[in-house]
């Protein structure tokens, strides 16, 4: 792995940055990192990049393969490809997937392989209080089982699904956003039949 490839990988995994952003955050010229593909970097500029990324210069140079404390090596055999869905609705047999947007990976250790999973591309800002923003990817375990206040993918009245905190009692279902601009939605009696739990949120992912 070259120096630039190592910087690119570290920046993406540790900070979610590309090379341009890494250069800007490090206070060096945008073209500097790209020149390192063929030129030896100045020591002070390389040190600035390493400090910004929270790693050692030796790590970027490949002299020390110890990963930063919040990074973990992942074996490609431990990765599972899972479909990304833009929209979920109620279908004849339960959930209908629409707008299939390719696939994303999850690690085996994060999954219970007795269940099915899908990534749901988040729309809207109703869950920003939980750090879930528009265009994030939400990993959903297909299940109707959940604990009160869990975040679930919910389909309301057969239409487009949404992420909400769900609280269920004998007589009601409450869907609660984490953005205070949105009021909780209450469903009682027969209205409870309008709610279909598509699955439970496991994790989120953001791309830059």
Cite the active site residues: 126, 164
What's the CA angle centered on 133, arms 157 and 136, to 5 degrees? 85
DSSP for 132-151 reads --TT-EEEEE--S---TTEE
Q: Where are the beta strands (DSSP E) in the chain?
A: 79-91, 94-107, 117-121, 137-141, 150-156, 161-168, 172-176, 185-188, 195-205
């Amino acid at each position: 792995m070259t120096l630039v490839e190592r910087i690119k990988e570290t920046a993406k995994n540790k900070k979610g940055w590309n090379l341009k952003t890494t250069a800007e955050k490090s206070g060096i010229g945008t073209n500097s990192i790209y020149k390192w593909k063929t030129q030896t970097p100045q020591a002070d500029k390389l040190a600035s990049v390493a400090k910004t990324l929270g790693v050692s210069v030796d790590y970027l140079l490949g002299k020390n393969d110890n990963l930063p404390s919040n990074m973990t090596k992942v074996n490609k055999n431990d990765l599972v490809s899972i479909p990304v869905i833009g929209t979920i609705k109620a279908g004849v047999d339960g959930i209908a997937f629409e707008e299939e947007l390719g696939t994303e990976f999850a690690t085996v250790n994060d999954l219970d392989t007795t269940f099915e999973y899908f990534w749901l591309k988040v729309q809207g800002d109703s869950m920003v209080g939980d750090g879930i923003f528009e265009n994030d990817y939400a990993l959903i375990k297909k299940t109707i089982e959940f604990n009160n206040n869990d975040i679930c993918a919910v389909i309301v009245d057969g239409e487009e699904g949404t992420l909400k905190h769900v609280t269920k009692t004998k007589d009601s279902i409450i869907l609660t956003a984490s953005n205070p601009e949105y009021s909780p939605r209450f469903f009682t009696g027969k209205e409870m039949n309008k709610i279909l739990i598509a699955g439970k949120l496991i994790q989120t992912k953001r791309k830059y």
